[in-house]
Amino acid sequence: MPEWLWIFIKVFIVVNVLMLHVAYVVYFERKVIGHMQARLGPMRVGWHGLLQPIADGIKLFFKEDIIPSSADKPIFYIAPIIGLLAALGSLAVIPMWEGFSIADLDIGILYILALSSVGSYSVILAGWASNSKYSFLGGLRSSAQVISYEIAMGLSLVGVMMMAGSANLSDIVKAQSEHWFILPQIVAFFVFLMAALAETNRAPFDLPEAETELVAGYATEYSGIRFGLFFMAEYAGMFIMSALAVICFLGGWSGPDFWIFARVPGIVWFLLKVYGFIFFYFWVRATLPRYRYDQLMSLGWKLFIPLALANIIFTGLIKIL
């Protein structure tokens, strides 16, 4: 089989599996939060609402696509596509089991951080191009939030790269064959988790789309399939951040190496850990109220960035000693 055909098959499978997960993670979120709030969640379309994501997708696809007359139309069109392409592009370097990734880059972590920065442009451009004060404020909030928490996230992963001696994601997993990095890098893990919530605009850091004061923030003027693209990008971003946390701190595809557990395929362990992080996203959303904007920024600059820097110094000293 030609190399290009094999790469195309891998891309096709990975993207389609992710899109199926994105559709059903919305259903899962509505069910989980429903049960946490003593209600049932979606129940009408299909058994226990199992066909609800398909119904939502069809509805969004055929809804009228309204564009404000004063909007900057080319940028308004392209903004949601940038977000989705950045999220899907990050999939290329994620190793889901040993020897399987679309591209085995030596700078895998830096590639994902770069694309997550590009993804934030979609929110900023959407806010600006909509020519609405609510959207514009959402875009401004997002730009400040992403810059702040991108720094914290990048610094939190420096300790992991120092311990593994590589920025290649497969090498980082192999470096955890004896023990996972979550214990020696517990501070970095905490900073990474909080930064991941802020990077993906999730509660309690969902200030760019705060319904209470900004209507829906950057997405206020969007409708139909373009509105759907933003949320596909957000949920795809949750999977990317969860996968990165699993690879860097929880040993990637590795699981217990005894009894019947040793026979379980690596992809099963990888997905179970990712689902655990996805559940954490929902749990936080159902539990914590939204932060004020000044609290969000002071947390980033006064707590998470100094913590990540202290972790780098501490890891360096341990390596030297």
Residue 216 has pLDDT above 80, yes or no: no
The pLDDT-based confidence of 316 (bands split at 50, 70, 90) is very high
The pLDDT-based confidence of 160 (bands split at 50, 70, 90) is very high
The pLDDT-based confidence of 278 (bands split at 50, 70, 90) is very high
Beta carbons of 75 and 125 less than 8 angstroms apart: yes
The pLDDT-based confidence of 172 (bands split at 50, 70, 90) is very high
H or E stretch covering 214 = helix 211-214
Beta carbons of 126 and 219 less than 8 angstroms apart: yes
pLDDT at 211: 67
Sign of CA dihedral 59, 64, 68, 74: positive
The pLDDT-based confidence of 141 (bands split at 50, 70, 90) is confident
Alpha-carbon distance values, 145 to 40, 100, 138, 234, 308 (Å): 34, 33, 10, 15, 17
| Main-chain dihedrals φ then ψ at residue 190, nearest 5 degrees | -65, -45
Average pLDDT of the chain, as a whole number = 87
* Digit-coded pLDDT (tens) for 41-68: 888 888 888 999 899 889 888 888 888 8
3-state class (DSSP) for residue 257: coil
Copy the structure tokens of residue 68: 């404000």
* Digit-coded pLDDT (tens) for 104-127: 888 889 999 999 888 888 888 888
pLDDT at 210: 67
Q: Which residue has the tokens 């693209």?
A: 229
| 124-138, 179-193, 216-230: range with highest mean pLDDT | 179-193
Q: Which residues pair with 100 in a beta bridge?
A: 97
The pLDDT-based confidence of 214 (bands split at 50, 70, 90) is low
pLDDT at 158: 94
Task: Decide which of 271 and 71 is more confident.
Answer: 271
Closest CA to 207 of 156, 149, 155: 149
The pLDDT-based confidence of 31 (bands split at 50, 70, 90) is very high
